[in-house]
Amino acid sequence: MEPLESSNFLVELNYGKIQLKIVQLLGRLEIKSPQKIAEFLNSEHVGRIASLDKDGFPQIIPMNFAYVSGAIYMHSHTRGEKLDNIKSNPKVGFEVDREVEFLPSYFSSPTDASQADTFYISVVIKGDAIIVNDKSEKAMALNALMEKYQPDGGYEKLTQDMHVIDEVAIIKVIPRTIRGKYKIGQHMDKTTRTSLARKILGKNSPTARQTLQIMGFDVTGNDIKMVDEPLW
């Protein structure tokens, strides 16, 4: 029995090391900077709100949104299933994500499809949703949405006295938790990250140069130089 017990001990020890490595990796993938989370939310145009319908099923709806003073604001028709859901159960989820770059398997292996990967950024919020009734806050939210989606102007700012304020509903999500994750090569050593960056540049996808910038590289012609450590 001794060899078996020893073997089991080693398996358990190795399993513990694997768990530790997974925890460490997950820690490296977490966005710890509230500023980076805010920047990401302010740069993305589509988020998804999840509410529970009357039968207990999650309903997920893509929405335009603005992130203002730590809360998510969305505009909606004054009637609809998601409003009914929120009135019945204000607990909601809200999610925003971006696929930064797909990494084909042949970057790592000529035959192993499991090596395919994706660089991404995502933010997941759990919180409470309310239907805003205050006209001043509704006007503020609508103006914030216009500033985000039409930054070139060409419109009159809304005020609480305008009739349109009563024609739309404003959903406000007050976060209880905000968690961000990102995978842009920060979990790799610099040599591996630089090698991968050259492969991305060589593939020349439509998003390649933007991806390299997010990864912390400066691109001049066909040459790259790491100028920033992408630790968020």
CA distances in angstroms from 203 to 164, 196, 207, 221, 230, listed in the order given: 49, 11, 10, 14, 22
List the chain pLDDT tens, one digit each, 232 residues. 444 555 555 555 555 544 444 444 557 899 999 999 999 999 999 999 999 999 999 999 999 999 999 999 999 999 999 999 999 999 999 999 999 999 999 999 999 999 999 999 999 999 999 999 999 999 999 999 999 999 999 999 999 999 999 999 999 999 999 999 999 999 899 999 999 999 999 999 999 999 999 999 999 888 899 998 888 9
What tokens appear for 125 in the block?
A: 């919020």
What are 88-124's pLDDT values in tens digits? 999 999 999 999 999 999 999 999 999 999 999 999 9
The pTM of the full predicted model, rounded to 2 decimals, is 0.84
User: CA 86, 92, 125, 71: dihedral to nearest 10 degrees?
Assistant: 20
For residues 142-171, b (16+ Cβ closer than 10 Å) or e, as one string? bbbbbebeeeeeeeeebeeeeeebeeebbb
